[in-house]
Amino acid sequence: MKKNNVFRKIYIVLLLSIMYVPIALVIIYSFNASRLTSMWTGFSLNWYRELFRDRAMFEALVNSLVLATASSLSAAVIGTMGAVGMAFKKNSEKHKPVPGRIRGIMEYLSILPIMTPEIIMGMILLSFFTLLRFPLGMFTLILAHTSFCIPYIYLLVKARLAGLDSSLLEAARNMGAGSWRAFRDVLLPLLMPAIISGILLSFAMSFDDVIISIFVTGPHTNTLPIRIFTQIRTGVTPRTNALCSLLFVITIILCIMSAAVSRIDFRKSKIK
């Protein structure tokens, strides 16, 4: 038993080292006074000053934030409605489950975007937008990112619905609540933790995407991952390390906010 505990601790230490030592090195070298990332010459905040003076970088950051927010919220609405619609089919008297064969086909089609390689997905979306004569830019980026963010929302809400009792909606209807009020006051608060988790996951996936964005972006629309990708082709600079360090800190803040939101009880609303 003691040997197993020792090997377990060694395994955990190695795993955490592989995961976080590179991140720690990026943060440390973002304060390097030298332009060369392979040589430490002293502590300096110069690269952070240069980063904050780079208007093009912050324009790309704003574009990425707008894109990730719009696509994750749009995917949340579509994915939630899809999961609820597949779980319950409204009848004249009550909600009945969708037949298993139809549900299986629709679920497979719903998760297909995240199973398809990104380069194939990007080529398909580019061909689709070109066929429809859509000008490439922020609009096509939002459409493309929404399409691959929907499965994340759908799967999380579907998993949440699997653990809920369908009689809750029937009880709300028997108490005089309409379909919309039963969904708003009973089902939506129960699904809210899954929806918020899906939004955060979709936001991260959209904010981080490079391959699909390269295919569907326009000549005057630049996102932060694309700009970083084009910069590191000529070499990693301490300014890039500074940007990555700030994004890592923002990610930690978002994780803390997500943990705080997950503790909120969304079931306070009641049918009067």
| In a domain? residue 43 | no
| In a domain? residue 272 | no
Q: Which residue has the tokens 């990693």?
A: 236
- The stretch 59-68 carries a mean pLDDT of 91
Tokens for 126, please give them.
């580019």
Under a CB-based contact definition with an 8 Å cutoff, are residues 169 and 243 in contact? no
Tokens for 100, please give them.
């298993």
- The stretch 36-55 carries a mean pLDDT of 82
| In a domain? residue 12 | no
Strand segments (E) across 135-246: none
Q: What is the rounded distance in angstroms from the CA atom of residue 157 to the CA atom of residue 107?
A: 12
Q: What is the rounded distance in angstroms from the CA atom of residue 238 to the CA atom of residue 33?
A: 8
Q: Of 105, 116, 139, whose CA–CA distance to 218 is shortest?
A: 139
20: amino acid identity, one letter:
Y
Q: Which domain holds residue 64?
A: 54-262
Give the single-character DSSP code of 187. I
Q: What is the pLDDT of residues 98-153, one digit of tens each?
A: 555 666 677 777 778 888 888 999 999 999 999 988 899 999 999 999 999 999 89
116 backbone φψ class: left, alpha, beta (φ>0; ψ -120 to 50): beta
DSSP state letters, 81-108: HHHHHHH-EE-SSSEEPPPHHHHHHHHH
| In a domain? residue 224 | yes
DSSP state letters, 208-245: H--HHHHHH--TT---HHHHHHHHHTT---HHHHHHHH
The overall average pLDDT reported for the chain is 80
| In a domain? residue 106 | yes
pLDDT of residue 268: 54
pLDDT of residue 103: 64
Higher local confidence (pLDDT), 160 or 178: 160
| In a domain? residue 243 | yes
Q: What is the CATH number of the domain that holds 88?
A: 1.10.3720.10
Structural domain count, the chain: 1
Tokens for 140, please give them.
């096509």
